[in-house]
Structure 1
Amino acid sequence: METQKPFYNRDVTVFAETNFRDQRKTFGVKRADRRRHMYIIGKTGMGKASMLEHMIVQDIKRSEGLCVIDTQGLLVEELLYYIPSHRLKDVIYVNPADIDYPVAFNLLETSDDLQAQTELVQGLINIFKDLWVDIWGPRLEYVLKNSLITLLADENNTLLHILLLLTDADFRRRLLAKVTDQVILDFWLKEYQESPERFDSAAILPIRDKIGQIVSTSLLRNIIGQAKTGFNFEDIIAEKKIVILVLNKSKIGDEAARLLGSVFTLKLMLAAKKMQQPGRESADVYFYLYDFQNYSPALFNELITSPNFGLNLILCNQYLEQVPELVQRDIFGNFGTIVAFRVGSSDAVKLAEVMKLGMNPEDLMKLNKYNIMLTLSIDGETSAPFTAVTLEPLPVAGLKDNVIAYSRERYSHRREEAEESIRQSLHIYPTKNYAEAPIFVEPEISPANIDYPAVDAPSAENSVQDKSESDNNYTAEALAAFRDKFAQIIEPTNEMADLSIINLSASKPTLVEETKPQSKAVSPGEEVTFN
């Protein structure tokens, strides 16, 4: 059997070899054809991650800009071994599970441009609608949208401030002094302030519950509660950064992974659209989304169907039922390259139809590991389907420890620094001496679980001023209760210190010497093992 060694080409990204009549010829997809996007589907363990590693490594070696998001962590953790020394400073490594060095990611951060703010708010509304489908309704959307627009009046606000906006009359009054939109002012001063009970059960309580769950999780709170994002999305594109985003659902939770991944995708898309200039070709950014079904479907409709603005998608998942029917239609109607590893029976029937295989769908169910059936974009046209074998798994080599250390130092803050900045931002101050703090037990806290003080409703004889004072007293007491509870979950305690959960004496991370390759020779089709 004749086999060609893989080649690395500036304009062709190789990922497989033909296997027709025992003739092995390495092939790939051209740069221009990658702008038509790529979809990869197949059961777990069939070789999808290995194929993606080859493509990503070539992008890295060619000094391309790329982003990789993974909700399992296996793919992105292996990628750290393949970062060459000359690209070390290009890497932005974001791992929310790294609790000692949280990377700041303010979901509300944007420019003063009205169009940018409008697109961000609408994008966030679409994401929350997908995340909160069990509680969503028109009144909740109305309150949430007005709240997000209002929070944008101060660049230091984060998603955590929505609780203060809804419950603290003093905070709301100070913030509204910065708002110039009369429609927004009328909402707060005429609708919300005069009849807050209209929104309680349908909007305010559900929002407080959902955001409260975020507040009560220090891991996520320390990331989205910092005012200034540690990296710039336009710089990611312009400077061809390598973004590696680890959203391991087993470590940070499903909803946190979906929220962070969706908002990162939204902000990258908005930055790419903003940087697009008429008559100029957009800079290519290769956007790898492993298990992309975990993110907001509303994002992909725009990403896939809008004119290309430089984000070249590589989407990957296990089976079609994970993806909404509308997104499936967008993919099969617009993507230039579709790659199928072994799939189940229902997927085999659908793929045989959309790929026009002209063969028994059962053949897709019997593909061996690393074997694929694909239709390839070639000079803007989609090829007839053919079979191939993906390249051998890569051995391990590189600067993994250096990558993590550099990215921590450049883009992260120490945990206690992040927590202190959030306390100051929310005007929450320690109420207990740490030395006298009780043994810490992780509480289940959201604003809905707080026992708010009972307040008698104002009588009909009360004046408007009396009613206003009564409402403000209730708000102040409720807010004090919330702050006291909130302080309990962000203040260090004796048990934390005893268990070294917070290492106050840890020094700044330092770069280490280059790690030696940890690889061994592999035969064709053999899985590489890592030491």
Structure 2
Amino acid sequence: MEDPESGNTLMDISRVMADAKYRRMKLEKAKNPVVVQFWREIATKAGGEASLENIVPYIVSKFDVFTANDYMRPIIGQQKSAFNFRQIMDEKKILLVNLSKGRLGEINANLIGMILVGKILMAALSRVDDATKSFPPFYLHMDEFQNISTNSISAILSEARKYKLGLTIAHQFIAQLDQNIRDAVFGNVGSIAVFRVGPDDATALESQFLPVFNANDLMNVPNRNAYVRILAGGTPTKPFSISTNAPMPINQADVVARIAMSAKRYGRSRHEVEAEIQARYIKELIPTIGDSI
């Protein structure tokens, strides 16, 4: 991180672990004495099962699934982000992210999802520097929430509202969430919309809608209808039913044009990014005198 020009991306973690010459160059530019001491006095001197020779292949293999993917490599290999998350929030911009598992793979899609959610949440927390709290609200909608949820979600759900970050989480059934995440969701989320659900979920959600609706009602909601309980002015309202609109027709030509415009403004060509990554990897490191690490 202290020498971004030589690489500070997820792709470079494997190089730090496996390439002694690259690691030595990084350490010579590091100003953190704890990091330097760890690598020079602990990591390289460990023996037995804890030796670098035994640990490196295991760690590096965990990154292969990302670095070997043609779609992932240009994403995680860039030195600088194409956009600023705090700016997106404060300027009321819209960020749409397509995490298609068919294109990225399940593990890669989940990784990017968790990274992006973390970035957005950190941007929200950075709003603490505005004592006037004049910043506009920002809404984060997470589909397939179970794929990007982490154990820190309880802290996220409780802290986000202080910085005008509204969360909308959507998933198919409650059992998709771990128990601790499930408890955090029901303990912090103020408004719930339930479309037709199965018997297990209906039983679990019934207490949220009684006495107006029972479990049988939740299992027999008509298509495009839902039962809703919202938090208004800090007070739960009486549950009620809603009818949603059918999806609007999509002008595909307009979609393609908007995507192309966004890519031109914020994106970079794959060829340019791949060339940048290649240049970092083939760049000859200047020999230095020092430790062999």
What's the TM-score, normalizing by structure 1? 0.50
Specify the code of the residue in structure 1 equivalent to 2:282: H
Structure 1 position 388, deviation (Å): 2.3
**For residues 365 and 410 of structure 1, do their structure 2 counterparts lie closer, same or farther at Cα, with a shift above 3 Å needed?**
same
Task: Tell me which of the two structures has the higher relative contact order, counting C-alpha pairs closer than 8 angstroms and 6 or more residues apart.
Answer: 1
Find the aligned partners of 1:206 and 1:296 in 2 and give their Cα distance: 25
Q: Select which of 56, 71, 82 maps to 1:204.
A: 56
The SS at the match of 1:256 is helix
The alpha carbon displacement at 1:386 in A equals 2.0
Q: CA 1:202 to 1:301, structure 2 compared with 1: closer, same or farther past 3 Å? A: farther
Query: For residues 205-284 of structure 1, what are the structure 2 equivalents within 5 Å?
Result: 205-276=57-128, 277-284=130-137
For the pair 1:286 / 2:133, whether they are aligned, the reply is no
Structure 1 unaligned residues grouped into runs of 5+: 1-151, 430-467, 473-531
Structure 2 vs 1, CA of residues 214 and 168 (structure 1 numbering), >3 Å: closer, same or farther? same
Q: Secondary structure at the match of 1:219?
A: coil
> Could you tell me whether the CA contact under 8 Å between 2:43 and 2:52 is conserved in 1?
no
Q: Secondary structure at the match of 1:261?
A: helix
Q: Is residue 377 of structure 1 aligned with residue 234 of structure 2?
A: no
Asked whether the 8 Å contact 1:266–1:299 carries over to 2, the reply is no
- Counterpart of 1:363 in structure 2: which amino acid? D
User: Structure 1 residues 203, 385: closer, same or farther in 2, change over 3 A?
Assistant: farther
Asked whether the equivalents of residues 336 and 377 of structure 1 are also in contact (C-alpha less than 8 Å), the reply is yes
**Residues 297, 324 of structure 1: 8 Å contact kept:** no
Instruction: Name the counterpart of 1:154.
Output: 3
Secondary structure, in 3 states, of the residue corresponding to 2:95?
A: strand
Aligned residues: 281
TM-fit CA distance, 1:206: 2.4
Q: Which residue of 2 aligns with 1:345?
A: 199
1:293-324, CA deviations, whole angstroms, 9 ceiling, x for partnerless residues?
A: 11032342222011521221111110001111
1:357 is displaced (CA, Å) by 4.2
Q: Name 2:18's counterpart in structure 1.
A: 167
Deviation, structure 1 residue 281: 3.9
- Mapping for residues 5-44 of structure 1, pairs under 5 Å: none
Matches of 1:284 and 1:259, distance apart in 2: 26
CA contact (8 A) 2:197 2:218 kept: yes
1:23-422 paired onto structure 2 within 5 Å: 152-156=1-5, 157-195=8-46, 197=48, 198-200=50-52, 203-276=55-128, 277-306=130-159, 308=161, 309-357=163-211, 359-397=213-251, 399-422=254-277
Separation of aligned partners in 2, 1:279 and 1:229: 28
The one-letter code sitting in structure 1 at the alignment partner of 2:38 is: F
Q: Which structure would you say has the larger Rg? A: 1
Query: Which amino acid in structure 2 is aligned with residue 162 of structure 1?
Result: I
Unaligned runs of 5+ residues in structure 2 are 285-290
Work out which of the residue numbers 248, 267, 278 in structure 2 matches 1:423.
Answer: 278
Structure 1 residues 331 and 196, CA gap change in structure 2 (3 angstroms): same
C-alpha separation in 2, matches of 1:182 and 1:402: 51
User: Shift in Å at residue 330 of structure 1?
Assistant: 1.6
1:391 match: secondary structure = coil
The TM-score normalised by the length of structure 2 is 0.88
- Equivalent-residue separation in structure 2 for 1:380 and 1:320 (angstroms): 25
How far apart are the structure 2 equivalents of 1:201 and 1:369?
58
Identity %, equivalent residues: 28
1:246 CA drift (Å): 0.2
Deviation at 1:213, TM superposition (A): 2.1
How far 1:222 moved relative to its partner?
1.2
The structure richer in helix per residue is 2
Residues 409/427 of structure 1: CA separation in 2 closer, same or farther (3 Å cut): same
- The letter of the residue matching 1:406 is M
Q: Is the 8 A contact 1:163 1:211 kept in 2?
A: yes
- 284-293 vs 294-303, greater mean Cα deviation: 294-303
Distance of aligned partners of 1:212 and 1:199 in 2 relative to their CA distance in 1, 3 Å threshold: farther
RMSD (Å) for aligned C-alpha atoms = 2.2
Distance 2:19 2:242 in 1: 62
Which amino acid in structure 2 is aligned with residue 254 of structure 1?
E
* AA aligned opposite 2:82: G
Shift in Å, 1:394: 2.1
